[in-house]
Amino acid sequence: MAAPGEHFVQNRPCAPEADVVCCIYVCCQFRVKGGVCLSFLPVSLQAGLTALRQLPVDHPDFYAWYTLILRFLFPILAILMLVRIIRSLVKASPKPEVWAYLSLPNGATEPLTHWENILGRSPASDVVLNYPVVSRQHAALIRTGEDRWTVHDLGSKSGTLLNGKPVDPAGSSMTLGDVLSLGGVDTVLLPVSDEETARRKKSSQRPVSPWGSLILLTVFQALTALQFLFSTGEEHVLLVPAAFLCLCLVMWLYCLTLRALGRTGFEMETIVFFLSTLSLAVTASSAPASVPKQLLAVFLGIVLFLVVGIFLRDLDRVRKIRWLMAAGAVVLLSLSLVAGHERYGAANWISLFGFSFQPSELAKICYIFAGAATLERLFRKRNLGLFILLTGACMGCLALMSDFGTAAVFFVTFLVIAYLRSGDYTTLALICGGAVFGGLVLVTIKPYILRRFAAWGHVWEQASDGGFQQTRTMSAAASGGLIGVGPGEGWLHRVSAADTDLVFGMLCEEWGLIIAVLSVACIAALAVFAVRSCRAGRSSFYTIAACAATSLLVFQTTLNVLGSVDILPLTGVTFPFVSNGGSSMLSAWGLLAFLKAADTRSNASFAIQLQKAHGDKWLGNLTPRQGKRAGKEVRREKD
């Protein structure tokens, strides 16, 4: 027995003067020089862990069969879990919601299916008015609250009147029953009946139940933790499995809490929790000591996801701070220019309190936020011009930092936002032409940029030089086959940036081609769902932000996956939700909030307050407490 205060490490007593470093991680692991101290655990648990660790040595044949079965079981679990979720997202076809009606002079009524509606003669308008006196894009009618609207004249030739008075240049408030005259064509804003709204909500598509997929994912995480108990070194024998346990607990806590609050539709979150599990796995294989940091990044990402989503509920608040978010994007990138240090060829890293992070990752959220927050200024060229200036400032900072992979991601995101805001192909063509010219000038000023792409397309000819990383990635991916060699059993993690820029190769090697392709399919499913949801989008902000965030995630994934196998140049961007890195994980969760806000299924988006129906009366956007109180009032009225 050890004396009081004495611990044993590898059956040897620790000297009092030993360099003992107590690191309380999630699992309360004691790291001691020379091994791991497990004396704080119950004797039975110590014996069990020791027996498990000795299993590969004492029973190699049994362990070989166990590992083989596990390698087949992982893809089966992933397929069973993801196919149902992906099918639900891809097949989702949300129906447009009707927020009010606009009566026409001929007695017909036109539904207002968005929070921002363009009225005009153009076939692309939300409400088409085929009258010669009406301009192609005559006015914008914007919902600002329950039964409250604002009307803006869009530079029409014949003018816009509200109750006989000219519309204010900054917009005029409009309520139900008001008369809106477009060039002499009188229309009236009419409400939607409670019966019709309740009927629409009852017939709306309901998301699939999440519990089956969550149980399968829990089994997946448990088996992964058990595998790393065998393959991880003694120093992290408890750290890595405990990280998967904590991720599993947080996943269930998140889903159960939101479900208790009346929320539905957890497909997107389940997909991201699956990808985050893979992220912890590749981190545990390449840098086990970094697992707590990556787990902390996942937790902070969930918090950021919830904060951004709840903040998006109030579009007036969103509109007011769009300039602050634009300034935030520029400041974050400028911070890297001033205080950043170079890593992997780009000076975009900042160290603070022992942590290194990339401000450019958080700048992505601010950039999309500022670009999408157009609202009533949607069709003003001045606003688009200011957004172009913001893009130029951001890309200029990235160019000075030599972070051209992120610059390409920003540029593609800009093209998506600019097209959704203007729909002008000519303007986009001029912008692309200017970008090509700027790229040629940049290559002339900094010729070393070309040398970075010198190995592209023929890396095997430079396998020991410029193509070192890509050739090793392809070799490792090929050795993994369909089911992989097992978590923690690969060798690619010894190559530089294997768990970040080359993470697709690690997935192929350790997890197999099936799971690697499924991880890419997860990002594609998020993109398809975002596009389908945007067709019935409530607000132009949700639509533009979701499409921009989706484009960023898809383009970044494409660069990462195809760059690692030499189909595209290796640009150094990360695989969203999978690559090791706290900044990348935070950014990906923040971008997911824009996709979640665009979900129009009943009570699926926490960016929209809960909607509850009681009897024949529909109770609009209410919090759970408000919905319960209103329901009591309805029942009291019936009694």
pLDDT digits (tens, 9 = 90+) for 322-338: 889 999 999 999 888 88
The CATH number for 139's domain is 2.60.200.20
pLDDT at 202: 63
Which among 316-320, 611-615, 618-622 has the top mean pLDDT? Answer: 316-320
Question: DSSP assignment, residue 5?
Answer: T
Q: Are 365 and 411 contained in the same domain?
A: yes
Tell whether 223 is covered by a domain: yes
Is residue 536 domain-shared with residue 578, that is, in the same domain?
yes
Tens digit of pLDDT for each residue in 556-571?
999 999 999 989 888 8
pLDDT computed for residue 600 by the predictor? 79
Would residue 91 count as lying in a domain? no
Mean pLDDT of the chain, nearest integer: 80
Query: CB-side exposure of 166: number of CA atoms within 13 Å?
Result: 9
Among residues 153, 173, 198, which one ends one of the domains? Answer: 198
Judge if 328 and 443 occupy the same domain.
yes
Per the CB < 8 A criterion, the answer to whether 613 and 628 are in contact is: no
Choosing from 170, 198, 226, the residue where a domain stops is 198
Question: 393-450: per-residue pLDDT in tens?
Answer: 888 888 888 788 888 888 888 888 877 766 666 667 767 776 776 766 666 666 666 6
Domain of 266?
Answer: 211-597
Same domain, 431 and 552: yes
- The pairs formed by 358-362 with CB atoms below 8 angstroms and a separation of 24 or more are 358/581, 358/583, 358/584, 359/332, 359/333, 359/335, 359/583, 360/332, 360/333, 360/336, 360/398, 360/401, 360/403, 360/406, 361/583, 361/584, 361/586, 361/587, 362/332, 362/583, 362/586, 362/587, 362/590
The answer as to whether 92 is a domain residue is no
Query: Are 135 and 233 members of one domain?
Result: no
Q: Answer yes or no: do 384 and 495 share one domain.
A: yes
Q: How far apart are CA 174 and CA 180, in angstroms?
A: 9
What does the pLDDT average to over 625-637?
45
Per-residue pLDDT of 210-249, as tens digits, reads 899 999 999 999 999 988 888 776 677 788 889 999 999 9
Quick: pLDDT tens for 268-303. 999 999 999 999 999 999 999 899 999 999 999 999
Say whether both 488 and 630 belong to one domain.
no
In a domain, 62, yes or no: no
135 vs 128: CA distance, rounded Å: 10
User: Is the pLDDT confidence value at 636 over 70?
Assistant: no
Any domain includes 19: yes
- Counted domains in the chain: 4
Do residues 474 and 555 share a domain? Answer: yes
Any idea which residue has 């902000």 for tokens?
Answer: 541
192 with 234, same domain? no
In a domain, residue 58? The reply is no
Residues 542 and 435 in one domain: yes
- The string of pLDDT tens digits covering residues 460-512 is 888 887 788 899 999 999 999 999 999 988 899 999 889 999 999 999 999 99
* 22 belongs to a structural domain: yes
Residue 348 pLDDT class (50, 70, 90 cuts): confident
Decide which of 171, 198, 225 is a domain's last residue.
198
On the question of pLDDT at 356 being above 90, the answer is no
Q: Are residues 134 and 257 in the same domain?
A: no
Residue 77: inside a domain:
no
Confidence of residue 160 (pLDDT cuts 50, 70, 90): very high
Where is pLDDT greater, at 543 or 639?
543
Residue 494 neighbours by CB distance under 10 Å: 10
Model pLDDT for residues 504-525, shown as the tens digit of each residue? 999 999 999 999 999 999 999 9
- For residue 260, the Cα-to-chain-centroid distance in whole angstroms is 24
pLDDT at residue 624 in the model? 42
Higher pLDDT, 591 or 27: 591
Provide mean pLDDT across the span 3-31: 37
Q: Indicate whether 164 and 257 sit together in one domain.
A: no
Q: What pLDDT sits at residue 637?
A: 44
Question: Average of pLDDT values for 545-552?
Answer: 92
